[in-house]
Structure 1
Amino acid sequence: MVIILVGGQWGDEGKGKVIDYLAAKADMVIRSQGGNNAGHTVITEHGEFKFQLIPSGILYPHCTCIIGNGVVVDPTVLLKE
């Protein structure tokens, strides 16, 4: 099964929270476009994690995460994450 989450507006829509929920059972999470201008925070039993570039699926060992060629990558932000 393939699930695609697309935002209907610019700004805080809660996409990161939904992706975190879905990633728990996903084989792969792909971020296809955007940049580090927005972020999302995921809270687990291991702490609080703030992401701007890396898909939140990175917190699940079974989940492969891909940053697509449509993402504007700021190397400094990426290395901090």
Structure 2
Amino acid sequence: MTVTVILGTQWGDEGKGKIVDYYAKNADYVVRFQGGSNAGHTIKVGEEVYKLHITPSGVIQGKTGIIGNGVVVDLEILLKEIEMLKKRGKEPKLLI
């Protein structure tokens, strides 16, 4: 089993979300291990733009997203993200 780890070194705004999205196509799981809703990931797939704060971006590609115990979950934001994804034809697979 191969594991790919993407870590930031500048405390945000490094473009990690785009890198995670790139590598997610070859992954089974995409894990978010820390942070909160203050972080944001903007992912563009074709002409579609997705803005996520809690949900691991790999769910856009149908991967299982894992929200780890180091993530500060704002339940209201998480539920809004899930609802937005479902409205856009994505059925996010999430483990918390």
Q: TM-score, normalised by structure 2?
A: 0.78
Segments of 4+ in structure 1 off by > 6 A?
none
Aligned Cα root-mean-square deviation (Å): 1.1
Please give the alpha-carbon distance, in whole angstroms, between the structure 2 residues aligned to 1:77 and 1:49: 14
Output one character per residue of 1:9-32: Cα deviation in whole Å (capped at 9) or x when no partner: 112000000000000111110000
Higher relative contact order (CA 8 A, sep 6+): 1
1:75 Cα deviation from its structure 2 partner: 0.8
Partner of 1:25: 26
Aligned residues: 80
Partner of 1:5: 6
Letter in 1 for 2:34: Q
Gaps of 5+ in 2: 82-96
Gaps of 5+ in 1: none
Please give the alpha-carbon distance, in whole angstroms, between the structure 1 residues aligned to 2:58 and 2:47: 15
Partner of 1:76: 76
Q: Residue 69 of structure 1 aligns to a residue in which SS?
A: strand
Letter in 2 for 1:41: T
Q: TM-score, normalised by structure 1?
A: 0.92
Please give the alpha-carbon distance, in whole angstroms, between the structure 2 residues aligned to 1:27 and 1:38: 23
Aligned-pair identity (%): 55
Output one character per residue of 1:46-73: Cα deviation in whole Å (capped at 9) or x when no partner: 6111000001100112x21100011000
